[in-house]
Amino acid sequence: MNPALLVLEDGTQWRGVTFGAQGTRAAEVVFNTSLTGYEEVLTDPSYYGQIVVMTAAHIGNTGINRADMESARAWLSGFAVREASPLYSNWRAEQSLDAFLRAQNIVAIADLDTRGLVRHLRSRGVMRGVISSEIFDATRLQQLALESPDMNGADLVRYVTCDEPYHWDEAADAQWYEYAPTTGGGRFAKNRLETAGGATPFHVVAYDYGIKHNILRQLTSRSCRVTVVPAQMPASEVLALKPDGIFLSNGPGDPAAVTYAVANIRALLGKKPIFGICLGHQILGLALGGETYKLKFGHRGINQPVKNLLTNQVEISTHNHGFAVRADSLPPNVEITAINLNDDCVEGLRVPALNVLAAQFHPESAGGTHDALGLFDQFISMMAHGG
C-alpha cells in the first residue's frame, strides 16, 4: 500500500497507508464509536462534508452488501481506520470495503493511530482536516484544511435532498425486529401492522433532509403510505398532499442554517402531527422557538445511553449529530422527554397540544439496538387520534 497523510487544522499529523480511492479530501474530522455498522455509516447522508474516524480496530471484516446501505451511495468525504481488513467473510457480502470505496470515489486511510487521533479530537474538539494520498507536505495540507468550509453556518441539506417527490413502499425485514421490545409496550410485528378496522393506511409526507432508508422502512412497516419530498418544498404544497402526518428526517450540517426548513415547519405546527429525528429534531426545536449549538465532538455511535424521562428507563441508542437543541432556550410548552447520560444534552422533546414528537437519536436502529422503536408507534398513535 502507498503512504497517506491526515493533517488537522491545528497542524497535527497522522500517518498511514492509502486504500479506497486516491486523492485529497478536506472536511471536518469526526469519530464514530460503533463496533458494527460501518456500511450504514458510509451511506448515511448525515455524514456529508465529514471525514469519519472509526474507533473499532478492525473495519471491513464483513464486506459490503446493498441491503444494509442507508441510501443509494456513500456521502462522506473521507474514511479513517486502524486496520482495513483485506478479506471479508459474510454470506450477504457482495464486495470488499476497499472495492466499494474505490467505486464511490471515497479517499481512505488505514494503519492510523486512531486511538491517539480520537483522544486528540475529544480533548481539542472536532476540527477540519485533510486526507491525502498524493500530497505529503504537512504545511500545505494544514492550509487546505484551514481553507475548507466550517460546519458552523453550513447548509448541507441542499446537497443531499431529493430533487423531486417520490413514493416509498419497501418495508423493513421483520426477521430483524420480530423479537424486539419497544418503548411503546409492544413488539414489532412479522408483517405490516394493519390500521384499525382495515382503514386506509396513514399518508406520511417525509421531508428529505438526508433521509435514511430504514426510517422509511419503519414507516411503511406500520402501514403508512409514504411520500418523500425535497427539503425546500413549501408548507402549503405539503398540506396540499393531504398527509395524516409529517416526518422530518436526519441530515447534515448546521440546523440554524437551514432557514427554509425552519420556516416551513413553523408554518406546519398544529396543522398535522409531526415527528422529527436527528436534524429533524433540531429543526423542530428551532421552529418552536429554541436555539441550537455545536457540541465539542458530537455523538456518533450505536452505544449512547439516553434516559427516557417519561418512563425513567435508560435506552441504548444510535447517534450521529454534532449539534443539539439548547435546553434552556425552549419555551414552557415544550417538554423535554429524554437526555443524554454522558453530557445531559436534549435527546427528545414533545408538545402534546401541537402533536409534536422528536428524538435527537435514531430509533430506527440501523445500525444499533431496538430500544426506542416504539417512537414510531407513538407517531402512528398521534395520527390515529386525529392529530
> What CATH number is associated with residue 41?
3.50.30.20
The average pLDDT across 38-52 equals 97
Local structure of residue 149 (DSSP, 8 states):
P
For 246, the domain range is 157-384
Residue 60's pLDDT band, with cuts at 50, 70 and 90, is very high
Q: Which string of DSSP letters, residue by residue, matches 61-86?
A: TT-B-GGG-SSSS---SEEE-SEE-S
Local structure of residue 202 (DSSP, 8 states):
P
Ramachandran angles phi, psi of 218, nearest 5°:
-65, -35
**Percent of the chain surpassing pLDDT 90:** 88
pLDDT, the chain, mean: 93
Residue 133's pLDDT band, with cuts at 50, 70 and 90, is very high
Quick: pLDDT tens for 180-209. 444 444 444 433 444 444 456 899 999 999
Shortest CA distance to 318 belongs to which of 128, 29, 44? 44
The average pLDDT across 17-32 equals 97
Q: Could you tell me if 124 and 163 lie in one domain?
A: no
Asked whether the predicted pLDDT for residue 120 surpasses 80, the reply is: yes
Residue 263, C-alpha cell as written in the block = 420556516
**Residues 80/51, Cβ–Cβ less than 8 Å:** yes
Of 119, 147, 175, at which residue does a domain stop? 147
Which residues are CB-neighbours of 22 under 8 A, at least 6 positions away?
2, 107, 133, 134
Domain count, the chain: 2
Total H helices, total E strands in the chain: 10, 19
Within-domain flag for 286: yes
Just list the catalytic residues.
278, 362, 364
**Residue-wise over 317-329: b if at least 16 C-beta within 10 A, else e?**
bbbbbbbbbebeb
Of 114, 147, 180, at which residue does a domain stop? 147
Q: Could you tell me if 17 and 139 lie in one domain?
A: yes
CA distance 26 to 13: 14
The average pLDDT across 22-31 equals 98
Write down the pLDDT at residue 185.
Answer: 40
Asked whether the predicted pLDDT for residue 165 surpasses 50, the reply is: yes
Write down the pLDDT at residue 371.
Answer: 85
CA distance 221 to 298: 31
**Residues 90/62, Cβ–Cβ less than 8 Å:** yes
Write down the pLDDT at residue 183.
Answer: 42
Quick: pLDDT tens for 64-104. 999 999 999 999 999 999 999 999 999 999 999 999 999 99
Of 147, 167, 186, at which residue does a domain stop? 147
CA distance 356 to 243: 15
CA distance 260 to 163: 16
**Which of 149-163, 271-285, 288-302, 355-369 has the lowest average pLDDT?**
355-369
